[in-house]
Amino acid sequence: MPFVIVDPESISLGERFAVVKTPRKSRARYPEACVTPVPAEQDARAQADPAHHLYPAVVYGPSSSSEGQRVYYLVRWLDAYNANGRG
């Protein structure tokens, strides 16, 4: 994860499960419009659809970028194979 200042007292920033819409998984941060937070890991995995560029992940944010956009930072991708105990 890129260097991000973490405020332990913040109630709006934090790690959360999400579905990220992206044509490539090589970025470190994603605009808020591309990230759909979900309540649980199972929800992120269930809503994943690689054919439509939707991938399950753990993200941190949303945070304001230096460009004035709200972004989420990628913590890690949730490997689809691990959902079934494989991989």
Tell whether the torsion through CA atoms of 18, 23, 27 and 30 is positive or negative: negative
Provide the pLDDT confidence category of residue 85 given band limits of 50, 70 and 90: very low
Provide mean pLDDT across the span 29-38.
Answer: 97
Residue 10 has pLDDT above 70, yes or no: no
Which H/E stretch holds residue 8? none
The model's pLDDT over 18-31, given as tens digits with 9 standing for 90+, comes to 999 999 999 999 99
Which residues on adjacent β-strands are paired with residue 49? 54
Provide mean pLDDT across the span 49-66.
Answer: 93
Q: pTM for the whole thing?
A: 0.79
Provide mean pLDDT across the span 7-14.
Answer: 64
